[in-house]
Structures are given as structure tokens and as C-alpha cells.
Structure 1
């Protein structure tokens, strides 16, 4: 068996032997093929299978291994994997996941499937998940785990040490947490360090060695959590409800992962990729999502092209202008994208709001004027030397300067305006900026050329 396993693992594609083992309902062979692989590689092989075969594999392998594969997948793909399983099997896999991952999965499922799975889970665990899904994703409540390593303020050091030494598998869920001390109302009143526990008498009350805890409210946003973990070396921070009761713990790892996911998501949205698209998804679904964005861009590009059409005679009379049209629009677009990037960054950090649009505009205009003049002079000199026409250099330089000022103004303000009307600025800012800078760039160049026609021909 081991010789065959090694041979299979040296192949580029293990999906064929995995499928064969699944078809034969050979659980031992499936585990031997999948378990030794890094989880990202195991997920890759799973996604090479058909939807039916993926469900079969997850139904056969041990729940712990299935949970690791589900947890490795992007959220939408993970939900698709779980959705194909029976409610009983899905609940078994859920039981192997931390409560924050459980909540993310349940939140991505349709209501009927979610309720069917929750009804098969432990009552207390299901209650925790139902509570967690009510919090916004990028808040302490949405990122926390409900399992908190907490003890009553009437207990002793010996009680904590006995729990630390226990063989209880559930203790693994408290990794990275210090013991939190709560009063009779469930409110955190202190935290103890492992060093303090080991150097104290077993009979000592926890209250005698505890220090005041740092807590965060359930609605604290992600950017504030990032700052907090930057300021403190904690691996986890207890989370409290409005009444002060301890409801979970948010970890440094969860905050870092959420920040990275947010950054990747915004980057993909700016490129027109909406959702957790993977090539293992149905072709029609991927095509429909992309076409929604691309179709809108066709309309926007037609508007930009209409400006060129309106100045066709000018373009024909001074054909050299055509060389510089894409330069003006592209360079202005780059300046505008810089402004978009800064605004998106400040939005994510909570440093600006839609009400700050005028202040942002003033800041960007000042930068745009300086950069516009500098870039205009540079490209104007290039046009003059290249085509031997100082008038053409003046037209191109002035057009780029004006378009740069316009581009940074739009790039800085449009994300805020989109946010105000409830649209996703990461998705819509790029196409709007590109269209406006193209139209304005073409207009500035061609209209200035029409005014200076006697000196250009």
C-alpha cells in the first residue's frame, strides 16, 4: 500500500486515485491519499473533482479531516462544499470548527440549509452560532470565538492548573488565551498570566493575582482592532456586550486574517472580480459575474469614444494629436487611481467619512495642481521636441495638467460619494474614474487643438 501511495503522491494529479478510492468507498485509502498533503494542496485536489465526488469525499473521510479542508477553502467555496452534504454530516464537520468559522459558514448558506444544520448541532453551540451571525463581519463580534477560557472570581489557582493539565480536547479551543476572571454576572474583572499561576500557591484565589483586563465591545471595527493589537502584544482580547458581559475572545490571528482578506477583496473588486471566484466554480456563474462588470464598461467606453467622434475633423487635420491622446488619458488615470487608493485606505481606517468630501477635494486639488503642472511641462516639452511644434506641446501639456487636476479631484471624492449612496466604492470607483478621465482627456486635447488650429497646421 505504501509503495502505491508514494507513486501516487509523486504524480502531478492525485484527483484520479482520490476519485477511485471514493468510488470504492475505501476510507483508509482516502485518508492515506489526502491526510499527508498540505491542506492547500489537499483542497486543490478536492476541487479538481466533480461536485458530486467532492461531496462523496467529504462524506467519507473523518469529520476532523473534512473540517480542515472546508476551513482551508474561501468562504463561498466552503459554503458550497457544506451545502451539498446532509445536515447530519455537515453538523459533524461543524463540530470540529471554531465558533467563528461556524458562524461564517452558516452566514453564507441559504436560510433553509443553515437551519437544518443548526438543528443537528449541540444546542449551546447552535445558540452561539446564531448569536455570532448577528454581528457585522468586520467587527470584534464578527471575528471573535465564543469559547472564552474563563473562571469565576471565587475559584482558586489550583482549579485553573487542573484545567490546564486536563486531556480535554475542547481545551485546544482556548489556545492563545489567558484565563479571564468573571464575576457572578459574567462580566470580566481580571486576567491572570501563566507565569502568575505557576508562581502562586494553589490555594490562592484568582482575584489575588489577577490584573485589570483590557476588553473591547462587540461592535469595535476592524481598523480599531488592528491598532489595538499593534499597541499591545496580546494574542487575544476579551469581547463584551453592551451590558459588560463576556461573550467571546478576538484573536490577533483572526484580526490579521480579516485585514488581509479585506485588502485582497478590495483589490479584486477594483479589477472587476466580485465574490470569491475560483475556476472550480460553475462556468456560467463565473461568466455572469464578469459580464455584469464588463457590460457596464462597454457603455462607459462608448461615452468616451463619442468625444473623439465629435472632434473627428480636428483629429484628421492634426493627426499627430492621436499619438498623445492615450498618454494624456492614461497618465491622468494613474494620478486619479492614486487618489482613489488613498481615499479607500482612509475609509478602511475610519479616517474619512462621506461628509468629509469637500475637505478631501481641497487636499487633492492642491496635489493635483502641483503634479499637473509638472507633468504638463514634461509632456509638453516631449511633444514639442518629438513633433517639432511648440503649439502642439502647449496643447498636450495644458490638457494633461487640467486632466490631472480633474482626475485627482474625482479619485479622491468619488469613493466617498459612492459610500454615501450605499454603493461599494471598491467596485465602482475604478470604472467611473477611467471613463471620466478618458472623456475629459480627449475633450481637453481636442478642444484646445481646435482653438489653436491656425498654429498647428
Structure 2
């Protein structure tokens, strides 16, 4: 395994040196031959190490078809950055070589203005209309994830007619995932699905409507991602037909597309919760852009942390009298923060699934309050006992127990409620909940520990 890693690094390094020469000479064929020597993972690594100008030049000298193949192997964020650097006409030529679902995924990451310009620049009217149709859907709904071009036949067709058509148009069907045939009535409404096995093993004179599975499970084109995930979790299908409100077949949404979109959404939420604004960053991005993205989240945290530190400054005398409190201050705030983050995660998940609405405050208070009381008492008893045994002072243990118990209850309530409030205010809960919760739990933890300790200084003397 280690040998493979070394060889991979050497392959990428050699390819980069060779690519730099071909890019400088604007030798597209030579660049293509170098790229073909790399697997798709190494292609991603190589492209991430090229400068932005070199990446743009490479795409231009490859030509639209080969450039599209390269983009299809890159991470979506890499492809988006490259497309953004191209002219609308050049970008349209490249995206038109990709499957519609891939090109529209890239377009969704661009500004509306840039995306519309690129779609308008697509030369083929039919391709342009298909791209526009998919792009018009909201991100993540069934219509945006469906794969077009399902193989369809009218229900009045015979088995012989269908088999003949499949044979005569085999080349057209070769790039489609033909596991089921979709049966329509004269108005284009989906009436059933037909398994290939049933088709091949049936007499040629039988009509399709007599063989099909009637009233198949379908999804509406506007069904959101959360509901799609639930459907595929309950039904172990490889794909489901997508219809409009009139029942007309529009395409097929495959399981892997839903799983990929769900994973992308979860990854974006994790990045946002970690302080990566806009939920996306690669180290190949320009330094200035990366710094601004991070600082826009980090800078406000300075103010929030100063506010928390001011609590310690205001109780400096108490801290000097009872030095042991300095050990437990970060433990109380950190443990409470962890409890609060658990509540944040559950609220964001339930909001995403549609289980929770921004106005369901009392449900969260009751459910999280119960968990907070139980966990707060348990954690408080553990840490309070440790404090008592360490210093031999039961009152120090009482201070720690009370502070951690109360702060845990407060943190889980805040963690559960803050995402609801932010959602109602049209602010992304995944991005803003963390800093708010951390600051509040720190301030309250410090205030509780130092405030309770101040009220019983005499009992804590010498600790």
C-alpha cells in the first residue's frame, strides 16, 4: 500500500511537469495523452495542483469533448471553478458534451446570471431546452435529479413491435440503463412498467398492456430530497419514474443520484457547521478567496469570545481565592457545549427531514429539557464527585455539580431552539448555530461556576 502511494505521488509529479510543458506550448493532443496515463483520482490531484491560469489554458487546448471527459472526473467544486473562468460560449460547448444531469449540477453552483448565459449559448435547441428544463427545478427535488431518456412504448403496442424497435434502434438505446420499459397511454401518461424478462419470454402477438405491471410507484417531479430519501429507504428500487401532476412521464430518478445528493448535502452542512462559509472550499482555490471565507466566520468569533472572557475578568477576585476553579471552568463549558451541539444536530436533522417546523418551540423545550435534566444531573454528579475527592471539599463538588447540571440543561435547550429561530429568520442554522451556542454556554458556564463559588467563598477557603 505504501509503495502504491509513493508511485502515485511520482506519477502525479511527473504528469504535472509534463503538463506544464504542453500547456506552455499549447499542445492539446500531447496534454491529452498525459492525462490518459492517469486514473481519475490522479487527474483530480493533478488538476488541484495546477495554477488557475494553467487549468483554464488546459481546458481550452483540449477541445470541448476531451475537456468534458476531464471535467466529469473532477470534483464538482473543481469543475465549477474551471467553468466560471471560461467564456459563456466555451463553457456551453463543454457542458453540452456532458450528460444533462452533470451539466445542470455544475450550473446550479454558478450564479443565476452566469448559468442563464451559458444555457442560452448552447447551440442545439433540443439540448438547450432539456438543460433549461432540468435547471428550472429547485435544487434537490426529483426533477433536478432525474435522468432523461427512459425507453417508452405505447400500451397498445405488441411484444413483437417492441422487440423489433429495440433491435432497430439498439445504438440509440445503448447508452441508457434499460432494465424496465415504461408504458404510456396516448396522452403520455405512465400506466405501467414492463420487465425485459417478461417481454422476451412472451408471445409476439400479446399487447404490452397485458404484460405490464400496472400503476407503478412514481414520484412527483417537485418531491424534495428528504422525501425521496425516505421513499428509497423503504423501497429497494434502483430507480423510480418521475411524473408531473398530470401523471405524464418526465424521466427516471436513480437511487445513486439521491444517495449522492444526500451525501453532498450532509457534507455541505458539516463544512458550514465547521465554519466554511458557503459550504465549499478546496486548497486549489485562490488564497485570497479562502482567507476571506474563513475570516468571515472567525472574525465575529473574536467578539463573542471576548464577551465570554469578560465574565472571568469580572470575577477575578473569586478565581484568585479559589484557584481550583480554573481547572473546572473549561470542563464545565466544554461538556455543556458538547451536549448543546448534540441538540443542534438533532434539530437541524429534523428541520431537514420536515419533521420539525420553525414554530415547534414547545416540543423542543419538553423533549430536550427532559434529556438535559437527566444528563445534566448524571454529568454533574460525576464531575462533582471528582472535584470533591480531589480537593477533599464537598462544597467545591457542590459548586461544580450545580454549575454543570444547570449549564447542561441550558445548553441543550439553546441547542434545540437556536436552529428553529435561525430558520425562521431565514439564516442557515448549520452556519450560525455553533458560534451562538458556544458563546452562550461559555458565558453561562463561567457565570454559574464563579457566581455560585462567590456565594460560598468561606466554605471554599484554601481550595
TM range (shorter): over 0.9
Gaps of 5+ in 2: 1-6
By how many angstroms is 1:315 displaced? 1.1
Q: Quickly say closer, same or farther: Cα 1:134–1:7, change in 2 above 3 A.
A: closer
By how many angstroms is 1:159 displaced? 4.4
Of 127, 130, 135, the residue aligned with 2:129 is 127
By how many angstroms is 1:165 displaced? 4.3
Q: Quickly say closer, same or farther: Cα 1:266–1:153, change in 2 above 3 A.
A: same
Question: Does structure 2 conserve the Cα–Cα contact (< 8 Å) formed by 1:150 and 1:179?
Answer: yes
1:418 lines up with 2:422 in the alignment: yes
Q: Quickly say closer, same or farther: Cα 1:343–1:110, change in 2 above 3 A.
A: closer
Larger displacement relative to structure 2 (50-59 or 287-296): 50-59
Q: Distance in 2 between matches of 1:45 and 1:157?
A: 51
Q: Distance in 1 between matches of 2:104 and 2:78?
A: 15
Aligned to 1:409: 413
Structure 2 matches for 1:226-241, cutoff 5 A?
Answer: 226-241=229-244
By how many angstroms is 1:176 displaced? 5.8
Larger displacement relative to structure 2 (232-241 or 372-381): 232-241
Q: Distance in 2 between matches of 1:158 and 1:382?
A: 81
1:161 lines up with 2:151 in the alignment: no
Deviations 1:336-390 (A, max 9, x none): 1111122222222222111222111111111111111111111111111112221
1:225 lines up with 2:228 in the alignment: yes
Q: Give 3-state SS (helix, strand or coil) of 2:397's partner.
A: helix
Aligned to 2:79: 78
Question: Does structure 2 conserve the Cα–Cα contact (< 8 Å) formed by 1:177 and 1:236?
Answer: no
Aligned to 2:361: 357
Aligned to 2:3: none
Question: Does structure 2 conserve the Cα–Cα contact (< 8 Å) formed by 1:75 and 1:276?
Answer: no
Deviations 1:173-229 (A, max 9, x none): 522652111222221111111111111234433222111221111121212211211
Structure 2 matches for 1:308-457, cutoff 5 A?
Answer: 308-457=312-461
Aligned to 2:153: 151
By how many angstroms is 1:34 displaced? 1.0
Aligned to 1:141: 143
Q: Distance in 2 between matches of 1:163 and 1:94?
A: 31
By how many angstroms is 1:312 displaced? 1.4
Q: Give 3-state SS (helix, strand or coil) of 1:247's partner.
A: strand
Deviations 1:115-160 (A, max 9, x none): 4432324212211221222222121112112333222233333444
Q: Give 3-state SS (helix, strand or coil) of 2:242's partner.
A: strand
Of 234, 250, 253, the residue aligned with 1:250 is 253
Q: Distance in 2 between matches of 1:436 and 1:20?
A: 55
Larger displacement relative to structure 2 (65-74 or 127-136): 65-74
Gaps of 5+ in 1: 1-5
Alignment: residue pair count: 452
Q: Quickly say closer, same or farther: Cα 1:429–1:166, change in 2 above 3 A.
A: farther
Aligned to 2:194: 192
- Over the aligned positions, Cα root-mean-square deviation in angstroms equals 2.3
Q: Give 3-state SS (helix, strand or coil) of 1:181's partner.
A: strand
Question: Does structure 1 conserve the Cα–Cα contact (< 8 Å) formed by 2:108 and 2:139?
Answer: no
Question: Does structure 2 conserve the Cα–Cα contact (< 8 Å) formed by 1:77 and 1:276?
Answer: no
Aligned to 2:300: 296
Q: Quickly say closer, same or farther: Cα 1:422–1:455, change in 2 above 3 A.
A: same
Q: Give 3-state SS (helix, strand or coil) of 1:14's partner.
A: helix
Q: Distance in 1 between matches of 2:270 and 2:455?
A: 41
Aligned to 1:102: 103
Q: Distance in 1 between matches of 2:12 and 2:134?
A: 42
Question: Does structure 2 conserve the Cα–Cα contact (< 8 Å) formed by 1:98 and 1:173?
Answer: no
Larger displacement relative to structure 2 (343-352 or 280-289): 343-352
Aligned to 2:4: none
Aligned to 1:30: 31
